[in-house]
Amino acid sequence: MVKALSIDIGTSSVRTALVDDLGVVSQKHQHPLSVQTPQPGEVELDALEIGRLVIELSERTLRDGGPCDVVGVTNQRATTIVFDPRTGQPVGPALGWQDLRTVIDCLVLQGEGLRLAPNQSATKAKWLVAQSGQPARDLRFATIETWVTWLLTNGARHITDRSNAGVNGLVSLDINTWDERILSLLGLDVAMMPSIVDTMGSHGVASALSGSPPITALIGDQPASLFGQSCVTRGAKITFGTGAMLDMVRGDAGPAAMTRFESGCFPVVLHSRDARVTWGIEGIVLAAGSCIEWLRDDLGLIANAAESETLATSVNSCEGVSFVPALSGLGTPQWDFGARGAFFGLTRGSTKAHLVRAVLEGIAQRGADLIDAAQRETHDRLDEIRVDGGMTANHFFVQRLADFTGCRVAVSTEREATTRGAGLMALVSAGHLALDDVEQLWTPVEVHFPQIDDDERAARRAAWLVTVGRVEKTIPELSAVAF
């Protein structure tokens, strides 16, 4: 049996595991990342800590499970690092994909005809270079897979794959070269940029690991999750983690531009091999699981995530209370960074159970918003949506998602399907599996079917859209950011 070492660097932790050619994930190890928020809207990570944990956890997995044949790396895509290649030291913090400190830069650049979002890498790189005080040409740009590959190969490879390059705001439409006009406007230099490679290919030898296994797959976390849930030539999934990300297979035809569609979705590279690109669309909810953390850590309404389900099912309804999960703004379809979260319909009789239930239902409604947007964009009706991520352990939440979408909701056996996807892709790249094999590996742990009728669903969705409209443009200057 062949095995891949899967290295999965998420928003809040690093995970490693072995994935075999039957799709079984074993020898899992995980460690949280130190995430700092020095100011509201700022999210920083430690690139050196990320590198150290990748090596430590990988060695632990290999020690427990034996040697691997190949390595696959998956990562939070837009988190940005700038480092000095002579010393190997970052010039500042890694700026997380949720970091909004460059909102003003995005507004200024709109006036120059350049539409970038603050959660893309482009303006983050500009900020890091400016803060370093060093010439851009002397530095190196990296997203997480670039940084990890640099470290695993002991500095031999400075590369990024197309699924990561396609969303950073700096790439040309062909996803083969960097857009030098954009680089120039941002004060960046093409010399600092990594080479763009296929998601599946020969990406160097991980000489920093025992056995020096070859790296055969680099892929962004959301395309990895889609692949890990066996959506290869068709289908869609939503990952409910810190945020919620819908990805849907579209095919070989690329977009006319790398900007978002009217639907609120935007084009993404799902994977590529031998320069042949498979495209998809993506929609994003900016706050999902983070709302549950907020209930627990900041409001103290629950002691742990599991208690949210217990409280939600202790009442028969929200009793008129609703919650819009816009703690970081609204993503698809509105893309309003100035929207803010809110409870509505509170009375003296509202209890914490009603509030917690409203939060779970609000996140489920935002999941339905993603599916509506994807269906508008593709003109395809989704009968099934596959889901993974920590929130899918909450049966009440998953059932409400089925109710509000009208889709059957199939829950991934692996809650972190990104890990499985990176491992499977590394095996496919090396010829140990075929794409058809991956499609046959789907075995959900459970399936939820809608339990409300079409009339009730339509009424609930119509009321929801009115409620969402009430939180838009809470902070007008942030709402002005368009991309």
Domain boundary pick from 221, 242, 270: 221
Q: Are residues 26 and 150 in the same domain?
A: yes
Domain boundary pick from 176, 201, 221: 221
Determine contact, residues 122/106, Cβ cutoff 8 Å: no
The residue count of the chain comes to 483
Q: Are residues 393 and 322 in the same domain?
A: yes
CA torsion 73→210→50→284, rounded to 10°? 10
Determine contact, residues 183/194, Cβ cutoff 8 Å: no
Q: Are residues 194 and 304 in the same domain?
A: no
Supply the CATH number for residue 238's domain.
Answer: 3.30.420.40
Tell me the residue type at 136.
A
Determine contact, residues 439/232, Cβ cutoff 8 Å: yes
CA torsion 125→127→128→129, rounded to 10°? 80
Q: Are residues 146 and 106 in the same domain?
A: yes
Quickly tell me which residue has 């056995």 as its tokens.
211
Q: Are residues 266 and 291 in the same domain?
A: yes
Quickly tell me which residue has 């690093």 as its tokens.
14
Tally the domains of the chain: 2
Q: Are residues 161 and 296 in the same domain?
A: no
Sign of CA dihedral 345, 460, 361, 396: positive
The reply to whether 65 falls in a domain is: yes
DSSP string over 119-179: TSSHHHHHHHHHHHTS-GGGSEEEEHHHHHHHHHTTTS--EEEHHHHTTSS-B-TTSSSB-
Minimal CA–CA distance to 116: which of 482, 480, 473? 482
Quickly tell me which residue has 């969402």 as its tokens.
468
Q: Domain limits at 341? A: 230-411+452-483
The reply to whether 445 falls in a domain is: no
How far apart (Å, rounded) are the C-alpha atoms in residues 49 and 47?
A: 5
Q: Are residues 160 and 78 in the same domain?
A: yes
Determine contact, residues 384/446, Cβ cutoff 8 Å: no
The reply to whether 339 falls in a domain is: yes
The reply to whether 419 falls in a domain is: no
Q: Are residues 254 and 364 in the same domain?
A: yes
The reply to whether 431 falls in a domain is: no
pLDDT tens, the chain, 483 aa long: 999 999 999 988 999 999 999 999 999 999 999 999 899 889 999 999 999 999 999 999 999 999 999 999 999 999 999 999 999 999 999 999 889 899 889 989 988 888 898 889 999 999 999 999 999 999 999 999 999 999 999 999 999 999 999 999 999 999 999 999 999 999 999 999 999 999 999 999 999 999 999 999 999 999 999 999 999 999 999 999 889 999 999 999 889 888 889 999 999 999 999 999 999 999 999 999 999 999 999 999 999 999 999 999 999 999 999 999 999 899 999 999 899 999 999 999 999 999 999 999 999 999 999 999 999 999 999 999 999 999 999 999 999 999 999 999 999 999 889 999 999 999 999 999 999 999 999 999 999 999 999 999 999 999 999 999 999 999 998 898 776
The reply to whether 439 falls in a domain is: no
Q: Are residues 92 and 173 in the same domain?
A: yes
The reply to whether 195 falls in a domain is: yes
Q: Are residues 142 and 273 in the same domain?
A: no
Half-sphere exposure of 163 (CA within 13 A, CB side): 33
Q: Are residues 112 and 212 in the same domain?
A: yes
Q: Are residues 161 and 29 in the same domain?
A: yes
Domain boundary pick from 221, 238, 273: 221
Minimal CA–CA distance to 387: which of 234, 219, 246? 246
DSSP string over 213-258: PBEEEEEEHHHHHHHHTT-SSS-EEEEESSSEEEEEEEESPPPS-S
